Amino acid sequence: MKEAFEFLQQNDKIFRQIVDEYGLPEIIPSRPEGFETLVLLILEQQVSIDSAKATFLRMRDAVGAILPQNLIHISEEEFRTYGVSRQKAKYINHLADAVLHNKIDLSKLSLKSSEEVREELIRLKGIGNWTIDVYLMFCLQKQDVLPIGDVAIVNTMKELLLLDDKEQMVEYARLWSPYRTYASFLLWHYYLQKRGRKITYQY
């Protein structure tokens, strides 16, 4: 981690600017691998982390544990009582079905490359590139991921680099390889610190 942050500061002045202004992140985000975290990431799509966490906890309180066998038979109407949208209820049921019927083995993803993980997860309904990127970064600890679908990442790159096009951002971020994950953590750190916000990634 120290090596990654030193590399980034040496290779791009924006990271020196971030660290000079706000220091380094105190905690590097991490989450456990598996079904439960993927369910939470589905809930986090296009809403705030705090809102998704509240929905997740209501659901967990109701079903006992976030396991495929506990969620597979829950109706969309029951999901709605927990605060889960109809669309996300479908995604969660689809994920539960895929795990229970051995269409995907989440326990083996850690043994695969980022590209292989993406190829497997993208086949699942409701699992897009943002969800996969965060899973790669937080759960599988892959070091070279840029979640270009993340609003905070895009807005911070716009602000600090004056880039408006995502393709330009991806191209520019090659400068940060092989530590684009840590670059993303610094960009998130800047985004949150500037707004006086704190996020707890654990649940």
Which tens digits make up the pLDDT trace of 72-105? Answer: 999 999 999 999 999 999 999 999 999 999 999 9
Tally of CB atoms within 10 A around 159: 14
Quote the pLDDT of residue 29.
Answer: 86
User: Cβ neighbours of residue 19 under 8 Å, at least 6 residues apart?
Assistant: 5, 9, 186
Q: At 146, is the secondary structure helix, strand, or coil?
A: coil
Whole-number Å distance between alpha carbons of 130 and 42: 10
Which residue ranges in the chain fall short of pLDDT 50?
none
Distance, CA of 153 to CA of 157 (rounded, Å): 6
pLDDT at residue number 200: 66
pTM surpassing 0.85? Answer: yes
pLDDT, residue 77, reads: 94
> For position 202, what pLDDT does the model report?
59
